[in-house]
Amino acid sequence: MRTLFILAFLANVTVTLISLAVLPSRVAIHFGSGGLANGWAPNYVNAILMTGVHLLIFCSIYFSPRLAFLLPAKWINIPNKEYWLMPVNRTRALEITSGLLWRFGIAIFLFFLAISLLTLQANMAKPVRLNETIFFTAFGAFLIYTVCWTIAYYRAFRLPMDMKSTI
């Protein structure tokens, strides 16, 4: 999963760099009703902003599990933390957290990739217009995945059957 997460991040940075190379100096960065552009910026500002957002998301997801598990248990918020933060289970909790976050990071970066490609396509069209059908499909898929991921998160931190009566 970590490799896919890194590849999804790199794909987004690549599309940002391609956009910087092929789009005009002024690009649409926000779209309103009907997919019409209603916010503009210099191409290089868009590239810097998007690269910064991608880096922030990447670093947050990649490094936060290890950093979080260095904190005292009272500052870590996971289901059934009394069990999962016991010294014997802490490593497994870190593995679960990392894996789940990498999966969610992949979904975030795939959603961003879809948006970046749609924005690239929109900025190359005359007139500049975002394909709202594809946008809302991607957004809906991301929301559905988020709900499924949240359920998987809570299921991953259930208590083992033999521990339910002791904690």
The DSSP output letter for 110 is H
Return the closest-CA partner of residue 129 out of 41, 37, 39: 37
In degrees and rounded to multiples of 5, residue 8 shows phi and psi of -65, -40
The DSSP output letter for 129 is B
**Domain tally, the chain:** 1
Residue 144 domain boundaries: 2-163
pLDDT surpassing 60 at residue 138: yes
* Predicted pLDDT of residue 165: 56
At 37-76, the pLDDT tens digits run 999 999 999 999 999 999 999 999 999 988 888 888 889 8
Mean of the pLDDT values across residues 126-137? 96
List 27's β-bridge partners, or say none: 41
* Predicted pLDDT of residue 69: 84
Return the higher-pLDDT residue of 152 and 71.
152
Q: What is the pTM of this model?
A: 0.90
At 3-31, the pLDDT tens digits run 999 999 999 999 999 999 999 999 999 99
